[in-house]
Amino acid sequence: MIKIGVDYYPEQWNKKEWERDANLMQQTGVRVVRLAEFAWSKLVPEEGVYDFDWLDRIIEIFEERNMELVLCTPTNCPPLWFYEKYPETIQIGRDGQPIALGIRGHRCYNNKVFRQYAQDIIEKMTLRYGHKTSVIAWQIDNEVESNFCCCKSCSDAFQEWLKAKHHTIEAVNEAYGNNVWSGEYSDWSQIKPPFGSYPLGWYNPGYMLDFHRYAAESIAEYVDFQASIIRKNIPHAMITTNTWMCEHIPDYHKLFKNLDFVSYDNYPTTSIPEDSEAYYSHAFHLDLMRGIKQKNFWIMEQLSGTPGCWMPMQATPRPGMIKGYSLQAIARGADTVIHFRWRTAVSGAEMFWHGVIDHSNVEGRRWSEFKDLCDTVNELNEVEESQITNQCAMIYTYEQDCSLRIQPQTEGFHYYNQMKAIHHGLTSLGVGVDIVSEEVELEKYKVVILPTVYIVNPKFVQKVYDFAKNGGIVILTNRSGVKDQNNNCIMEQLPTVYRDLTGCVVEEYDAIGFKKVRVQDKNGIIYEGKQWCDILLPINAEVLATYMDFFYSGKAAITYNKYHKGGAYYIGTVGNKALYRSLLKDALEQGGINYFENLPETVELSVRKTDKVNYIFLFNNSQNKQKFIFMEQTIEMEPFGMYIHKAIKG
Amino acid sequence: MIKIGVDYYPEQWNKKEWERDANLMQQTGVRVVRLAEFAWSKLVPEEGVYDFDWLDRIIEIFEERNMELVLCTPTNCPPLWFYEKYPETIQIGRDGQPIALGIRGHRCYNNKVFRQYAQDIIEKMTLRYGHKTSVIAWQIDNEVESNFCCCKSCSDAFQEWLKAKHHTIEAVNEAYGNNVWSGEYSDWSQIKPPFGSYPLGWYNPGYMLDFHRYAAESIAEYVDFQASIIRKNIPHAMITTNTWMCEHIPDYHKLFKNLDFVSYDNYPTTSIPEDSEAYYSHAFHLDLMRGIKQKNFWIMEQLSGTPGCWMPMQATPRPGMIKGYSLQAIARGADTVIHFRWRTAVSGAEMFWHGVIDHSNVEGRRWSEFKDLCDTVNELNEVEESQITNQCAMIYTYEQDCSLRIQPQTEGFHYYNQMKAIHHGLTSLGVGVDIVSEEVELEKYKVVILPTVYIVNPKFVQKVYDFAKNGGIVILTNRSGVKDQNNNCIMEQLPTVYRDLTGCVVEEYDAIGFKKVRVQDKNGIIYEGKQWCDILLPINAEVLATYMDFFYSGKAAITYNKYHKGGAYYIGTVGNKALYRSLLKDALEQGGINYFENLPETVELSVRKTDKVNYIFLFNNSQNKQKFIFMEQTIEMEPFGMYIHKAIKG
Amino acid sequence: MIKIGVDYYPEQWNKKEWERDANLMQQTGVRVVRLAEFAWSKLVPEEGVYDFDWLDRIIEIFEERNMELVLCTPTNCPPLWFYEKYPETIQIGRDGQPIALGIRGHRCYNNKVFRQYAQDIIEKMTLRYGHKTSVIAWQIDNEVESNFCCCKSCSDAFQEWLKAKHHTIEAVNEAYGNNVWSGEYSDWSQIKPPFGSYPLGWYNPGYMLDFHRYAAESIAEYVDFQASIIRKNIPHAMITTNTWMCEHIPDYHKLFKNLDFVSYDNYPTTSIPEDSEAYYSHAFHLDLMRGIKQKNFWIMEQLSGTPGCWMPMQATPRPGMIKGYSLQAIARGADTVIHFRWRTAVSGAEMFWHGVIDHSNVEGRRWSEFKDLCDTVNELNEVEESQITNQCAMIYTYEQDCSLRIQPQTEGFHYYNQMKAIHHGLTSLGVGVDIVSEEVELEKYKVVILPTVYIVNPKFVQKVYDFAKNGGIVILTNRSGVKDQNNNCIMEQLPTVYRDLTGCVVEEYDAIGFKKVRVQDKNGIIYEGKQWCDILLPINAEVLATYMDFFYSGKAAITYNKYHKGGAYYIGTVGNKALYRSLLKDALEQGGINYFENLPETVELSVRKTDKVNYIFLFNNSQNKQKFIFMEQTIEMEPFGMYIHKAIKG
């Protein structure tokens, strides 16, 4: 059963409100409530003193109303008495100083004392509530990031990680090319986290990528540490952590490897940008989240009102957004969507991050729309069993992401933005896509898109060749095959390991940054490229489009190479949306994937399937009404409206 | 007698220049000279060694020419020998480190050793010069700001302040809502100044507002400490400090509570912005300064030339600005206007902050204009006895100001900017306004404007209701009644305590930031709103204007509610100047205040009154000539020209 | 013989590549290779362990191919074992903390232990390779900057420098005008480097200029320290250091005073800006470099590919740029041009700073163009003996440069930009210019341009007067004669010491920043001024142009004053290119210098002369072809093409 829930912070409200709140939630149609996320100080007000009575009571209130619960380990925020007693548990910044207290998330993940106290509260909570059937899932900590703490514990952990990987200091020097700038380490003790205020790109790229790998594994290990405590006491617990798009992104695939399901904090924009090239559908994020474990997922925090806290408030969600964005998540594989938050906080730094209910505690427009959402979803019972399967995949890896952040290739280029533009092309054609790691089985797909496979993973390369050999269609882009696993450049002509597959070489490249280049296809249609131009020399490949500007005017910009039963596209520039849409149509046809030519640009189609039924979701991700013909029906959609068609297989 | 003066730094000039300078000042018409502002090192060149001879001599020189003096306590800049001997007296920054020496103002206001040495020099100066009738006023320190020092003394002082206010740590936790993010203090020692580099909005808003209150009281206490020393030795001393618009604004009302008069450093712009919406009259600041003690004030530093020091130089004052801006200050209640500075410094970081006389020591255009100013003012003798009384007031409070800085509500919104736009509306109608605190007696006024009364002061709310009941007209704006005294949101429908008065509720709000919204009044005239839209539901109120954009098109944007004998306007958005002008005309008519419909937009009218005479000032605050009819006379005004009409009461 | 070379880092490549690389260099036409720049750790892998074998071998490889070598002292990058053992050798930042290791250039130039180890490696290298005739030059360190290290050694060195200059603390106080803000030092120990995060303009300008002087002399002393070691072991060594345009610019004239020749790292832009006012020819830098010692120089690093490392990559060099920019350097006095670098690094932070050969190790377009360059240059043998002599000079001084950085005069004003615009005017008229210090003999010239001679050097002033008296033409600009040697303002009417020469005074000035002002000459032609307006009062001078805006419309903007046999122009504003071109034509005519009226704007003429031959270089510094008539020939030039005409004197 698909469920709508809310995040609730009983510790922030007068106990007198609890039952009234629970009653209104029940009337609204809320099925799940997340609790205790930041409540450590309420549970352990002083060293050795525990208070679970309040949590017992609020759980009881929800149980009485047949509502289900998600409990959180409250480890994001140790109580202040703890930091005062153990100041060594505070994270150290890149300046070598403890970060200032007073916000949240100050704990060092690796510190032993912190781990001991974290274990204690998790043990206590799991022993007390583990048996409850009402508790359907556990959330670990909150929005953890890759571990950039520079304390002694973490510095040591980084050195240990390096020893385990490289074994000798000579191997580290070899891997990083430390002969540049006399950078050879002569002792492990010289390898530190990236202290100082330098931009990350000033450091050795091999070192930086290893640091990011360590930082991601460090946070995954922390999450696993918590999961193992929970699982010890509750063997069948469903365990997750709520992830997000943050500064120090985690490796999503490693983070969730040992957890039961992915959950995501989903905040689509409330202000549609005026530049249509800048706009993208949040479906991109949802597809990425579903791809992590290649199965359905949860939203642990969903947009419910104006975001705002330390930054100025944003526009309030336009009518339809609260319901529509939530249904969009379901359409893309979310089985439970918990809204952040029930009622807007009246104190604390997040007091302007608006919930379903306003500060006023009066039910308003957003609550009405949320109730309408609950009503709709509560009638969708059978949908949960459904899964999403696609014939098209797009590869995302933490390593490419980090490496391209460490060394931005050209002004304005972002790994995600290119993926978003390609994703838009697929969406505009009504074609679903799985955004998956290089671990995926490619045989499941007909078309596989590899946006900037910058760092070469030889096993994956072999899989790609096998896929194409057996009839698969591959789409590669600029900056593919550039680097080896050490984040060093490969001493071969680009796209190096992909030369055979693509049937072309990159003669030269031009980092054009914010300039534009015109690209013309064989039909004379002109598209726009930006940021990067690979000047292609086809060896076996067919030229699909050529540049029209600069000294390489007339040279190949996009090629296609038939490869055994399959084939490979190579796109040498970063295109505008029209370029990707056009090229994708070609590729989908090659791959034998059906698409919808005439969907309005903003209408997103997705399908959840059971053995017997296909649930076809059509979402109007737009502020404008849409009217169009789909499967011979005229469909009219309100702004952010969702149309769900149940197709019984027969 | 209205007086023009100059700031003079004899310690910066060769003694040979002193008499020549004094002679030229006398010929120019200067009546007052400010001395000794930064001269501590000259008075106490080494520990225990005092040198007052030079100051004796320069005072004598001015006394011989019948010029009056303002003496300053030189405590802004202790000598370097002092800092070297007592490094603990240096302010500590938010990074926990002593701020680097070498600029100015490095002393910690609260440090005991500093206080002891400050007391010593003040005692010595007051004992030596206290008897002199030539010394007509004392200035304390220079441009003090709210105390953000993070040293141990100040941290302790903050904790003591909190204890005195809240008594128990539990009360602090309750006040700040520290149950959010496990933020409960378990000991006073955990409460520190805001260390770290976080933007202030990341901290708990309750804590931050209390910190600002403490910081403002701390600096007021410092000023009082100095005042008490001066007053002990010179019982009838006239004491002030020169305040300004700074980063860590003081609470002007508290700062001057125990001082004799307000003085202000007045630097109107020399570059009129091209965007007429961005331009405002510096009369706003002058009205604010007059409002602090609701009486006439001084200018301690007045624009005399191009500003410039660490920042690049600005445009030189356009012809008429030096004289005109000085007369504008007088027209708005300044009784003495001291110009910064006599001669431009030839050394030190401020060498490009230009005085009346250039580096060249040659009298130029600015000196000529300044002399013309002196001549004009020296003929205005009887004006000084006059006072300014208005029928319209606007409320300004330190707490709203701080709270809106801590948590910016929407992109581009500034508390002052809204006040300036409203002030412009009044000015364009020739209507004077007092900018006053919530302590004011409202009965004196017919119309009272409450721009963003964001934090609710219950006593003041009662006064507003009483005022309206008795026939007063109130103007409220967006973001009124949002917060309680702890800077927490009030759990009621907006505008909370003002719902009855305004006869409407805010159904919802939309933080539109830099976007624009059209607002149409009952006559079909369209104005522009920005930044914020309160969507109003009139209960009893009449709708004066509605929105024309977004999903709330057609909903009320501005309302008016008759309330007993009076009434209240509510403006849900931040208007352009035309909107405020139009609405203010309506409000002034309701309040029975006369206004001038046909003044040119840039001509500012103000009136200083004695029992017998009204001095009507008309100031052309513009680079363009103006010609218009006023009281049946045709008046022609030069750029920045002033016309003074003496109306004898009959 | 003019030579083309490459920078090569054998330590970064597999030994197997060495001979292949050397062979290809030889075939390409490379004559010189620079080695060992960052190789300290390879030469001394651990304390007391030396390894010169690899360097012996690579030198041998090049010697076998008759290639010449530049050896570098590798002192920019001590090995990490050294920093670990002697952490006191790490530079201290303005925050008082050691800068984080992991980039390059971390050593404190003044630290004694560092100096001892630097001496050791330099001794070892010079003793081992000093006798080799293949080693034609030695480079000291790499791209040194003025010494802003804030460590104890450097703080002490600064104090010693001050004692040597000022003798007494009273003299320092007097020089800096420390009576401002009670800033008198009472002890030398109070004088520190500029700690803190303040912009430099907040400090006392006298102190800051002295600090810059010390910082420049400190780095020059460091370079001399190395030079003396080299010279001790190799009496006839040719010694240089490679300089550049950096954050903490060195005093180029002092830096190279005791070195044998200037070498420069030359990276002209690969993206021609669209705003033609923003574009300038890199010939400006080359003329500046040639002017340092007033003789020919080397390029030690020359553009070979896309720059990129911590910043995003730039555009790839357009066809013709690699060859053209290198020939441009030769045309402006470079005798050897070493390209950075042979092959692009595959590891380290600079891996995207592209060399002649790509990562792929495949010869591409850039290599072909580079080979073409080598072929061309290897046929220019006799050119090397030639020198460049000009009739026009422009004065550049480190002190003006620093002082104008410390106190930016107006928004958008940069010392260099004004010089570049004037330089453009000369270049567009085919007139060569020497950019030289105030030490130059002015008699060599007919026209001397003094852009913003802000700080007055009395000896130089006398030389300027003598020059004009004897018939020389002088061009002065705004902000001349402002400051004395202590960086304090001169107490006279501007342009102070230049009043007699210019025959005018600056009545007043207006810092207009980004605003524009129209300036009209006697023929009614209108030019554009910006940033600054000196309002001129001609005493004896003739008015050449007047302002057309602001309150000084009609007042003089540009004047000319006949002075004995010569004369002086004064330009009160910062002009656009057209203004300078027009005025320079006038000045060149006055000075009797021929110019070319009809050269295309982008075609640059320069002449290298021997006793018998003039080599006339015409360089098309543009992406467009040019066709024009020169000396009665029709000349057609490709983008970035060079035409060399050998004129035998007769």
C204 reaches B (C-beta below 8 A): yes
Whole-number CA gyration radius for chain A: 26
Element (H, E) at A511: strand A504-521
- In chain B, where the domains are located: 3-147+236-383, 392-591, 603-648
User: What chains are in contact with C, requiring at least 3 Cβ pairs below 8 Å?
Assistant: A, B
Q: Which amino acid is at C311?
A: M
pLDDT, residue A199, reads 84
Q: Which amino acid is at A178?
A: N
Residue C382 has pLDDT above 80, yes or no: no
Among the partner residues B202, B493, B508, nearest to A349 by beta-carbon distance: B202
Q: What is the pLDDT of residues B317-336, one digit of tens each?
A: 999 999 999 999 999 999 99
| From B194-198, C330-334, C346-350, C549-553, the region with the lowest mean pLDDT | B194-198
pTM given for the model: 0.97
> Token digits for C594?
């021929």
Residues of C in contact with A488 (CB under 8 A): 346-347, 351
SS (H, E, C) C129-181: HCCCCCEEEEECCCCCCCCCCCCHHHHHHHHHHHHHHHCCHHHHHHHHCCCHH
B142 reaches C (C-beta below 8 A): no
Mean of pLDDT values over C249-274 = 97
Do C398 and C252 touch, CB atoms closer than 8 A?
Answer: yes
User: How many whole angstroms separate alpha carbon B256 and alpha carbon B295?
Assistant: 12
Best of C80, C92, C356 to disrupt the A interface (most A CBs within 10 Å) is C80
* Closest residue in B to A104 (Cα–Cα): B181
> Token digits for B253?
């009302």
Residues of A in contact with B94 (CB under 8 A): 100
C84 reaches A (C-beta below 8 A): yes
Comparing B468 with C278, the larger pLDDT belongs to: B468
Task: Select C3-147+236-383's CATH number: 3.30.230.10, 2.60.40.10, 3.20.20.80, 3.65.10.10.
Answer: 3.20.20.80
pLDDT, residue A381, reads 74
* Closest residue in A to B505 (Cα–Cα): A360
User: How many whole angstroms separate alpha carbon A157 and alpha carbon A163?
Assistant: 10
Do A511 and C316 make contact, defined as CB atoms within 8 angstroms? yes
Do B534 and B590 touch, CB atoms closer than 8 A?
Answer: no
A211 reaches C (C-beta below 8 A): no
What DSSP state is assigned to residue C363?
A: -
Do C159 and C191 touch, CB atoms closer than 8 A?
Answer: yes
Average pLDDT, chain C: 97
B49 reaches C (C-beta below 8 A): no
pLDDT, residue B197, reads 85
Q: What is the pLDDT of residues C587-634, one digit of tens each?
A: 999 999 999 999 999 999 999 999 999 999 999 999 999 999 998 999
Q: What is the pLDDT of residues C354-375, one digit of tens each?
A: 999 999 999 999 999 999 999 9
pLDDT, residue A346, reads 97
* Phi, psi (degrees; rounded to nearest 5) at B476: -110, 155
- CA angle B642–B646–B647, rounded 5-degree value: 135
User: How many whole angstroms separate alpha carbon A347 and alpha carbon B177?
Assistant: 5
> Count of B–C CB contacts within 8 Å?
157
Tell me what ipTM this predicted complex has.
0.96
Percent of chain C with pLDDT over 90: 96
Q: What is the pLDDT of residues A251-298, one digit of tens each?
A: 999 999 999 999 999 999 999 998 989 889 999 999 999 999 999 999
C188 reaches B (C-beta below 8 A): no
Q: Which CATH class is domain C392-591?
A: alpha beta
pLDDT, residue C200, reads 84
Tell me the nearest-neighbour CA distance from B364 into chain A, angstroms: 48
User: What chains are in contact with A, requiring at least 3 Cβ pairs below 8 Å?
Assistant: B, C
Among the partner residues A313, A348, A359, nearest to B177 by beta-carbon distance: A348
Do B490 and A309 make contact, defined as CB atoms within 8 angstroms? no
- CA angle B154–B155–B159, rounded 5-degree value: 110
User: For chain A, what's the residue count?
Assistant: 650
Q: What is the pLDDT of residues B28-48, one digit of tens each?
A: 999 999 999 999 999 999 999
User: For chain B, what's the residue count?
Assistant: 650
Place of tokens 């209701």: B465
A45 reaches B (C-beta below 8 A): yes
Do B38 and C492 make contact, defined as CB atoms within 8 angstroms? no
- Which residues does B50 contact at the CB level (< 8 Å), separation at least 6? B43, B44, B124
Give me the residues paired with residue A536 across strands.
A506, A556
> Token digits for C24?
């290809």
Do A109 and A148 touch, CB atoms closer than 8 A?
Answer: no
> Token digits for B454?
């964001």
Among the partner residues A104, A312, A364, nearest to B408 by beta-carbon distance: A312
Place of tokens 């390059």: C104
Q: What is the pLDDT of residues C494-520, one digit of tens each?
A: 999 999 999 999 999 999 999 999 999
User: How many whole angstroms separate alpha carbon B632 and alpha carbon B635?
Assistant: 9
* Closest residue in C to A195 (Cα–Cα): C100
pLDDT, residue C309, reads 82
Nearest to A602 by CA among A342, A320, A359: A320
Whole-number CA gyration radius for chain C: 26
Do C353 and C309 touch, CB atoms closer than 8 A?
Answer: yes
Q: What is the pLDDT of residues B268-316, one digit of tens each?
A: 999 999 898 999 999 999 999 999 999 999 999 999 999 988 889 999 9
Q: What is the pLDDT of residues C51-108, one digit of tens each?
A: 999 999 999 999 999 999 999 999 999 999 999 999 999 999 999 999 999 999 999 9
Give me the residues paired with residue C645 across strands.
C616
In a 10 Å sphere around its CB, with 0-12 CB exposed, 13-18 middle and 19+ buried, how is residue C530 labelled? Answer: buried
Residue B256 has pLDDT above 90, yes or no: yes
Q: Which of C37, C68, C143, C217 is catalytic?
A: C143
* Closest residue in A to B404 (Cα–Cα): A312
* Closest residue in A to C349 (Cα–Cα): A204
CA B292 vs. chain centroid, Å, equals: 8
Which are the catalytic amino acids of B? 143, 301
Element (H, E) at B521: strand B504-521
User: How many whole angstroms separate alpha carbon B342 and alpha carbon B307?
Assistant: 14
Kindly list the distances between the CA atom of residue B606 and the CA atoms of A148, B618, B639, C324, C432, in Å, as whole numbers in the listed order. 61, 7, 18, 70, 64
Do B201 and A311 make contact, defined as CB atoms within 8 angstroms? yes
* Phi, psi (degrees; rounded to nearest 5) at C608: -105, 135
* B 349-368 residues with CB < 8 A to C: 349-352, 358-362, 364-366
What DSSP state is assigned to residue B87?
A: G
Do C339 and C300 touch, CB atoms closer than 8 A?
Answer: no
Q: What is the pLDDT of residues B407-459, one digit of tens each?
A: 999 999 999 999 999 999 999 999 999 999 999 999 999 999 999 999 999 99
